[in-house]
Each structure stands twice: as structure tokens, then as C-alpha cells.
Amino acid sequence: MKVFLSYAQSDREVAKELTMYLEEAGHKVWSADEALFPGENVALEVGKALNKSEAMVVLISPQAMKSDWVRQEIEFALGAPQYRGRLIPVIVKPTDDIPWILKKFPAVRAGKRIAEASREIEKHITNGFELAPA
């Protein structure tokens, strides 16, 4: 499955490690650090990747929740049918600034156990999930 990885630059090391685990599980991960090159039209390339992906993993941290890019990527995923049941918030560093709608999604806590968290993420990507009725 094609997975879009959304994160702030301060979470780059976690993103790299998570990408490795998800690719080992057979997923194709799109990550800005790996896919974008200097001089490219960033908005165009991100848009293409969002449209082609079937799941999104968003790394949650105080810095990520302040990032306009991360917030726009989340908004896209919330409205795109291909991400239904496959938008996975991953708590890297706790923050109170999580969008209210993401609080309804099953979050994965990464902490220092990325390998274990990646197995839980992989399960959500593969099987999807249903949100509880309001």
C-alpha cells in the first residue's frame, strides 16, 4: 500500500526509522525528505503524493501541530475517500494542540519503541479501522 508520511522536520529521525519498518512490511512510503529535491515545486509534488497515496501516517508532536504543511496534509486526508479508515496519528511527543477530529482516531504512541509502534501502524494501514459513532 502507498503510505504518505506527514511530519515536522524536528521529527525527521523518527520518520526515517518508521519509513524503514513500513517498507520492510511491504509498503511504499512517501516522505518529503526522501522524495523532494532542491528546486522542485514542493506544493505540486506533495499534492501528487497525497493523491496517489492510500493511507496517511501523521507524526504528532508540538512542532508538527504548529506546521502549516502538516495541518494542510491532515485536512486533505480527512476529505479524501482513499484515506477513510487509514489516517493514523502517531504520538511522537505529547501535545495538547491536536485537532479535535484526530482525537477520535485510534492513535499509536511511538515514544522510544518505534519497532513496536510500527507493527501497530502496519495493522491499521492493512486493515483500516472504523470510527465509533458520535
Alpha helices, H only, 67-130? 68-79, 114-127
51 falls within a domain: yes
Per-residue pLDDT for the chain (134 aa), expressed as one digit of tens each? Answer: 999 999 999 999 999 999 999 999 999 999 887 777 788 778 888 899 999 999 999 999 999 999 999 999 999 999 999 999 999 999 999 999 998 888 888 889 887 688 888 888 988 888 887 665 54
133 falls within a domain: no
- Residues with Cβ within 8 Å of residue 9, at least 6 apart in sequence: 63
134 falls within a domain: no
Report the 10 Å Cβ neighbour count for 24: 10
CATH of the domain at 61: 3.40.50.10140
At 117, which amino acid appears?
A
- Residues with Cβ within 8 Å of residue 69, at least 6 apart in sequence: 6, 46
| pTM: predicted TM-score of the whole model, two decimal places | 0.89
98 falls within a domain: yes
Query: What does the alpha-carbon distance between residue 66 and residue 121 come to, in Å, rounded to a whole number?
Result: 23
